[in-house]
A and B are shown apart, each in its own frame.
Chain A
């Protein structure tokens, strides 16, 4: 064992045992971030904060929530919302954060796509991020089931039904997921387990991985300038702060993040107190009733784009059933982002405005995602169904064309 001398302060005592100065340097004061960034680079800290808010508010909600189909609805809408001191506040905080976190995730993802921060060594950052997107989606879906309202029940019904489309084992898979032939008490209790234990643990692990993946390739910057981080860090440490292209995570980078966070929190808490029904659908304040199908069934807004890709194929093509085509398209939509680093054939990292065709591709993608999102909620009849169909086809085509487009950009640059 190492020899320990008497410590003169708590800091020294901890330093002897944990080497906190070194950790602090590595994680904070000498963790280097590019200086040439804008507020979009703060989305990571916004997400970490929002996730923390979700965990803390979730812990309080769990103290009163009852995962039983006969008790769940009243435990949320009566006990938590009306009886427990400030229970309503924790529920609003949790419900609105669950919705808003997806807005930030989408901004974070599109920022990564725009600035090309997913390729040439940054693939693992992108993939770990996509894994977070998937686990957050699962957490959002499982959480939405817990109040056991009409939308909880029917969304669970529709989404678990999708697994029936898996060849050969489909029907058995649906029963296995539900724990019953129907969406029932067993389903609610297991989704409760997923929502409060397995998924949060997985998310925490993945957040750790996501942070770690940034270590070696480093954070990208807004002009995709490639430089030697060690040399720039040298400059900074020797006092040449103005000329150095890097800043330390603490306190310079975090000071900007906190400023952006301040604005975000004003927006977020405004929603929590005064404008929350977009995240807490009024339809879900009707208790689940297996005998009454709601007039309109739709998922939460953040799933609408992929739901519309699923729904867009509403007629059989070449003998293949509409349901199966939709399911394949849905699987494509949810999987294709994972391989984005390899669909982009351009060998240089550049922001979209320096890649003419990719620039057009990017904005077409954004427009298509918005169209899919909006039409994903509308009743799929008449013109709506056709808009959905063409938007879904456009989405697939965009990704099919991406390798060609990126290669052309590279060629034209010479």
Chain B
């Protein structure tokens, strides 16, 4: 039948165009990256190896073109990639001792209360903030986190790695060169692996079993990021650190996350939070190190705030479509009755 043939042509051409401007164009603009990996040791070993391979390829490419300047740049990049690979592998090798140690929670409590509470509050255990957020942000660049929920938000391995060397664990060592140091010192130089393991065990022992999505967001993200749509009337959902301090610390003001669930989408957000460097090389955003459950809660919260009508949309859609199918059926019946006389 002729009309169906014409329809097929229209549909096929429309789909080709759609494919070209949507899935195909996006695949070209946003190259594929490795999936989320919550095993941070494995992730770091793989990505540093991939970075070396990429640098080697770039060097080979430059050598093929015999471009002196490009070769020199590529050689320097490769050198840096090799150095970093060595550093990060040695770092995770060193973390092994603490990860495999049998921890002592009581000793951990003594260590944490002696070492950490000068800068960090643990409100649930009666250690209040010694200074308010604005003051700690002024002193350190960013408001310091309460440690009560750390054992819930982060895995044991990540906490050990972070206490040992915060800059390496959170993948921001590129920011702390030329004598600049991460505001939190590296404890690998001051404590034995056993002591690090004890501290982490203590943090895990005091962590709450359940947290709301909002609480996870507040503890994991809100020191730097606001999410103003969560409270437009009273404006209580800004970042804990004052804009000026956090801007100075990060190089630019971290964005408000109100619409990130739409502008970035859950897939990108998951990969980005899991390893910001993978999608935005050189970014000042740290790998926060959230475990799977916490990361999913953060993304859920962004959806609750940024796409609050999703459930309503998904519920209403099918009803609209059913109504329209009925309309179309009646329209076809009417058409058939009117055209019977003229054919």
Contacts and interface: CB of A to CB of B under 8 A. Distances in A.
Interface of A: 35, 38-40, 74, 77-78, 81-82, 88-89, 92, 103, 107, 241-242, 244, 247, 251-252, 255-256, 258-259, 261-263, 265-266, 269-270, 272-274, 278, 282-286, 295-296, 301, 304, 366, 370, 373-374, 377-379
Given A78-B258, A265-B324, 7 more contacts: A39-B7, A82-B308, A244-B342, A247-B342, A256-B338, A285-B263, A379-B28
Nearest to A375: B20
Contact of A251 (B17, B259, B313, B338): B338
Across the A-B interface, give the 6 residue pairs with the lowest CB-CB distance, nearest first.
A262-B328, A374-B20, A273-B317, A285-B263, A255-B338, A262-B331
A85 B162 CA distance: 46
Contact of A285 (B2, B3, B262, B327): B262
Contacts of B54: none
Given A39-B6, A88-B313, A366-B13, A255 B263 contact: no
A89 B320 CA distance: 11
A258 B339 CA distance: 13
B196 to A, nearest CB: 40
Interface string B314-343: 101100110011011111101101110111
B35 interface: no
B18 to A, nearest CB: 7
B265 interface: yes
A241 B328 contact: no
Nearest to B11: A267
Nearest to A150: B263
A252 B342 contact: yes
Contacts of B10: 40, 107
B316 A266 contact: no
Contacts of A263: 328
Interface string B261-295: 01111000000000000000000000000000000
Instruction: Give the interface size class of chain B.
Output: 35 or more
B339 A252 contact: yes
Contact of B309 (A82, A241, A256, A373): A82
A252 B342 CA distance: 9
6 contacts: A78-B229, A89-B313, A107-B10, A255-B335, A273-B314, A286-B259
B232 interface: yes
Nearest to A384: B28
Contacts of A285: 259, 262-263
Given A255-B335, A259-B335, A262-B331, A38 B321 contact: no
A273 B320 contact: yes
A241 B341 contact: yes
Nearest to A376: B21
Contact of B232 (A35, A39, A78, A265): A78
A16 B308 CA distance: 55
Nearest to B338: A255
Contact of A282 (B16, B18, B263, B308): B263
B211 interface: no
A374 B28 contact: no
A38 B8 CA distance: 13
B331 A261 contact: yes
Contacts of B331: 255, 258-259, 261-262
Contacts of A269: 317, 320-321, 324
Contact of A266 (B312, B325, B338): B325
A304 B14 CA distance: 14
B13 A370 contact: yes
Contacts of B29: 295-296, 378-379
Given A38-B6, A88-B309, A259 B28 contact: no
